[in-house]
Structure 1
Amino acid sequence: MFNRTCLLRLLLGASIGCATLNIDAQTVSKTFTNQSLKTVLNEIETQTGMSVIYKTDEVNESKKVTITLTNASVTDALSKVLDSNLTWEIRDKMIVISRKNQSSSAKKVTVKGKILDSQNMPVIGASVIEKGTSNGTITDFDGNFTFTASENSVLEVSYVGYKSQQLAVVGGKELSIVLKEDTEVLDEVVVVGYGVQKKKLLTGATVQVKGEDLQKLNTVSPMGALQSQTPGVNIVKTSGMPGEGYKVSVRGIGTIGNSSPLYVVDGVTVGNIDNLNPADIQSIDILKDAASAAIYGARAANGVVLVTTKQGAKGKATINYDGYIGIQRMVNTVRPLNAQEYVEIMNEATEGTLNFEDFVPNWDAIQDGTWKGTNWFEEATNNNAPVKNHSLGIQGGTEMSRYSIGLAYTSHEGVYGKPAVPKMERYNARINTEHVLIKNNSKSWREFEFLIY
C-alpha cells in the first residue's frame, strides 16, 4: 500500500510540476474586426497554449469585438475584451473566467493548510475549493495549499479514492486535514477490472443478453436463444436431433484447430452451456475482442462466453414458475413423386426399356391409379411433435445466508424418425448458496459459496 501510494503521488506531482508556465512570457498579437468573443478567446488559447474555461450562461460568446493586440500580455488582453462584470484568474495552464461575486465586498482571508492521509503521508494534487464558486487550488508535493477565500465560507476537499470533506474557512490558522479512504469506491474499481465473479471488460467489444430475454424465446437451449441476439457471433446447430449441441464461432474462425470459445459459468470453466436451463440464467456476456485474453489467457483466443446464474437475495422466499408447452410441425414440405409419376420419369430416362410389371407388385393398381404408392417422408414425420419445459425457482435469504434453487424438466421430440421417434428428456437441478462466516464491525467475509449444477 505504501509503495503504491508513493508512486501515485510522484506521478501526480510530476504532472503538476510540468504544467507550470511562465505567464509573463505569454503574449497575444492579432487584429480582430467585428469578431465574436468566442473567436477571440479561441485565439488566446492557440497563441498561449492555455485552456480558457467559463460557463456559457455567464459569458456572452456572441459579443462582437474589434481590437488590435500587439504583444499584449494575457492579463492585458483579457482586460480589454471581457465585460466589466467578469473576472478571471490563471491556474497553471488554465484561464478561469467567471462572473464577479455580488458579495465580493465580503472580507477575504488567506486560507492555508496541509492534507494528509490515514498513514500521515501528504496527499499530492488534492482539490481544495470554496464551496459554490470556482475559487480554489490543489495541494503541492508536501500536501500544502494556500489561497484566498471569503470569510465565513465553506471549503470542499476531495481526492480520488478518498471521502470528500467540508469545513469552515478559518483565516490566520493553518489547517490540518486528514482524508479517509472511500473503501466502497475502491472495491467497485477492483470488481469492474478483475472481479472474482463478474470478470467483464466494459471497454471491450462485448454483447450482453439478459436472462429474461432468453426466457421470452422459449428455447430448449440458451444457445438457441442467442442465435438472434448476438451480432458477430455465428451459432449453428450441429444436428437436427433433439438435444444436440451448437457450433459457436466468435468473429469468425481463426484456426484450423478448435475454434470454440471459452465458457465460464459463475467463474467456473465448463465445456459448453447447451444443457443449462435458460430459466436459471441471470445474464450472458460474450467477450469478442482480444482484450479478454488479459484475464483468461490463451484460452480466450476464440472469445469468452460468461454466464451468470441467478443469485439469492435478502428477504422472504420467492417462488417462481416458468413453463411452456408447444408443438412442432413441418410446413411447406416438398411433395415427392407418387408411384405413377415415378414410373413416367423412369420411362423417359430409360426410353421405356424397363419392364415394371416383372418386378413391381400391385402393378395393375399403380397403372389404373387406385394405389399411389407410399409417401415415406410422411410416414417418417412425427406431426405435432411436442416440446415442453417446466422450471421452478426459489430464492431468498438473510444477511448471513442467501440461496437460489432451480429445478427444471425439459422434453423435446423430433419431427422426423417414426416409428422410433427421437426424444430428449433433461432434468436440471441447481443450488447456489452464499454464507457469511465472519461479521465484525460491519465488515463481512463471504468465504463460503456452494454451487451445484
Structure 2
Amino acid sequence: MGKILLMLSLFTLSFSSYCQVKIVRGQVTAHEEIPLVGAAIYVKSTNKVYKTDSLGHYRIQCSIKDKITVSANGFIKEEIKIRKKSKYVLVNLKLKSGEENKDLAMGYVNVADKDKLYAIKAIDDDEMDYSSFRNIHEVLTGNFPGLQIQNGEIVIRNTASFTGDNAALIIIDGRESTMNSLENIATSDIKNISVMKDASASMYGSRGANGVVIVSTKRGDK
C-alpha cells in the first residue's frame, strides 16, 4: 500500500510539474537579424498557435517542459524544447532553397519590404555535399555566381563600397569573422552558406555595403 501511495505521489508531482504554466517570450528571425512577420508558433501541450508581430516578437503560454514548432512560409520549420528556465527564446529560421521559396516568403508578408530577400542565395548541406569540394574557395566560386576571391578577400560583383574596401563581410556561426578563419573550416563541417547583397545586406550597415557571406557550421549547433 505504501509503495502504491509513493508511486501515485511521484506521478502527481511529475504531472503537476509538466502542466505548470509559464509565459515565454521571444523573436523569430531569418539570417540572424531579419524579423519574420506572422510566423506561427505551435505549442504542443495546448495545440494552440501563436503569431509573431511586425517585429517578429511573440509571447506564448506553455508548460515548463513543452515543445514548440516554429514555421513560416518559405522557411524550414524548427522544433524547440522549452526548458524550465526558458524565458526568452530566439529562433532563427533558414530559408528553403529555390527562387519559389523566396517569392513565397515575401508573398505571405513574412519579410517586410525593407528586408527583401531577392538578393540572398542560400545552400544547405541537405541539398549539396560540401565535402566533395577540396576547400571553401571551390565552394564559394563554384556555387555563387558573381562571387570572386581576390587577394585573399571575397568580392561580390555589383556591390557599392563606401570605404574603398571591396571585401565582403564574413559571418561564421553568427559572429563577424575573417577570411583566415573561413579558410580553416573543413568543407565537411559546413551546414549552410548564404550570400547577401543590396537591400538584404543593409541591416549590417556600412559593413554590409560590399555584401555579406554567412556560414553556419555543424559545430555551431553544439
- The structure that is strand-richer by fraction is 1
Relative contact order, higher structure (CA 8 A, sep 6+): 2
The answer to which structure has the higher helix fraction is: 2
TM-score after normalising by structure 1: 0.24
- TM-score, with length taken from structure 2: 0.45
Greater Rg over alpha carbons, structure: 1
